Amino acid sequence: MTAQSTLNTEPTRSVLDRLHEEAKGDRLRFITLAPRMLLSVLRHGSFAKGVTPSMMKECFIPLTAEGGELLYLTARAIGAKTIVEFGTSFAISPLYLAAAVRDNGGGLVIGTELEPEKHARALAHLKQARLDDLVDVRLGDAMQTLRELPGAVDMLLLDGWKNLYMPVLDLVQPRLRKGAVVVADNIFTFRKELRPYVEQMQSGRRGFDSTTLSIGQGLEYSVYRG
C-alpha cells in the first residue's frame, strides 16, 4: 500500500485547510483597509510606496490552494532539498514546501518575514503542522536575511513585496543550481508592477525559460538553465 504524502496526512492537512479558510477573511480586511490604502497610494504615487507591510499585518494574502499544490508537486518532481521563500506571511506556502521537502527525504525551507506578529504566528502554524523542524523563518528585511544561504538552492518562491522580486532574485540567483525552479505569485494582480520582472524572465537574457500560468492570481514559472 502506497503511503500518503505529508501534504494529505495529519496534522498538516488540517492546519492548511484551517489557514485557507481563515484567509478568506482577507476580503473583509481589504474592504476595511481600502480608504486608508487609497489615500496612501495617492499621496505616494504608487502601491509599493503607499502600502506598507504594517498595514497588511492582519492579512494573509496567500498563494491559493491550487498554487500551493503546484509548489508541492514541483518541489517533489525536482527533488528539492533547499528552498527559499520570500514573503512567509502566516506560513501557508512554507507548509506546502516543507511537506515536499519531508517527502523528498529531508532538507530545509528558508523563509523570511518582516512583520514580527506574522513571524510569530507563522512559527506557531509550522509547529502545529509538525513541520517546524524543516523550516527556518528569518525575521527581518529579506535583502539582509537571505544573504547567507546553505549550499545550492533548488527552488525559489517570490511572494512578498512586489518591488523586491527582482532584487531578491538578484540576491539568490548566484546560488541557484542548474534546473532550479523560480515561482513568482500575483502576476495578474500586479500586472503593471511586475511587467518588468516577467519581461526579463521571458527574455532569456537572465538564463531562464519562463511562462505565465493562469493559476490563482497568476504565477510566473521559470526554470534556470544555469
pLDDT of residue 210: 98
Q: Domain limits of the chain?
A: 6-17+60-224, 26-56
Over the stretch 144-157, which tens digit does the pLDDT of each residue have?
Answer: 999 999 989 999 99
List beta partners, residue 185.
219
Distance CA 112, CA 146 (A): 8
> Cβ distance 194 to 184 under 8 Å?
yes
Q: Is it the case that residue 123 has pLDDT exceeding 70?
A: yes
Q: Which three cell numbers stand for residue 117?
A: 506578529
Specify the pairing of strand 82-86 against strand 153-158. Answer: parallel
Residue 155, strand partner residues: 83, 181
Kindly report, residue by residue over 52-92, the tens digit of the pLDDT: 666 566 655 768 999 999 999 999 999 999 999 999 988 99
Residue 1: the pLDDT is: 38
List the one residue out of 72, 80, 88 whose CA is nearest residue 176.
Answer: 80
Report helix, strand or coil for 96: helix
Distance separating alpha carbons of residues 11 and 117, to the nearest angstrom:
23
- Report how far apart, in Å, the C-alpha atoms of 79 and of each of 22, 87, 100, 103, 105 are: 31, 22, 9, 9, 9
pTM: 0.88
210 and 187 Cβ atoms separated by less than 8 Å = no
Distance CA(37)–CA(180), nearest Å, equals 36
Phi, psi of 106 (to 5 degrees): 115, 165
Which class is 6-17+60-224 in CATH? alpha beta
